[in-house]
Amino acid sequence: MSVLVGKKAPSFSAKAVVGENIIENFSLDQYLGKKYVVFFFYPKDFTFVCPTELHRFQEEIAEFELRDVAVVGCSTDSEFSHWAWLNTPKNQAGIQGVTYPLVADINKTIATQYDVLAGEYIADENGDLDVEGEMVAYRGLFLIDKEGVVRHQVVNDMPLGRSIREALRVVDALQHFEQNGEVCPMDWQKGDSAMQPNHKGISDYLSE
């Protein structure tokens, strides 16, 4: 699993669905210099755990917007599958009412770039290709700053739903650091005391 923290988020252009509209060339580059991005992957449309997460992100969308954060979802389903799911009522296991973009990664290239693709192609001794695992995304989440740099990532296995409150907490911690220059200890919450960073290098400690 690649660690993307501290690196530029992989760039892509893909189809996405926003509300009733299919966007032909959607890219996270549109947010550079303007917004933070919480970019998350989920395994499949029309499943069980996934809609609980997508609805929770929608329930908290105002909190993300208050923090100047764009929320963007992605799976290896097509834009037509996204569109159909978005037009299915919640009481029928749909995600009607979700307003943030859902990216279609049907070629699996974006999941591969972010290294969250569960399956992989394996060539046998004859050069024939087979698939090992299921070619869908794990539950990856990436917090990208306004400069396009990944500052936080977490990847869950498919049965394990993630915490949207934790995603908000990490956004708060990053913004507190950027605004105040203070680092945030374990379980830090917005409004808690933070700490001045220690700028000593390891050589300073070894010489003491």
Query: Higher model confidence: residue 124 or residue 176?
Result: 176
pTM attached to this predicted model: 0.88
The answer to whether position 8 is within a domain reads no
Q: Which domain holds residue 86?
A: 14-206
pLDDT of 22 higher than 80: yes
pLDDT of residue 205: 34
Q: Is 50 a catalytic residue?
A: yes
pLDDT of residue 141: 98
The answer to whether position 68 is within a domain reads yes
Q: What is the DSSP letter of 87?
A: T
pLDDT band, residue 70 (cuts 50/70/90): very high
Share of the chain above pLDDT 70, in %: 90
Task: Find all residues with CB under 8 Å of 203, minimum gap 6, and list them.
Answer: none
The count of structural domains within the chain is 1
The answer to whether position 162 is within a domain reads yes
pLDDT of 191 higher than 60: yes
pLDDT band, residue 132 (cuts 50/70/90): low
- CATH of residue 71's domain is 3.40.30.10
- Nearest-angstrom CA–CA distance, 121 and 82: 25
- Nearest-angstrom CA–CA distance, 197 and 125: 54
pLDDT of residue 121: 64
Catalytic residue from among 17, 28, 50, 104: 50
The answer to whether position 168 is within a domain reads yes
The answer to whether position 171 is within a domain reads yes
The answer to whether position 4 is within a domain reads no
The answer to whether position 121 is within a domain reads yes
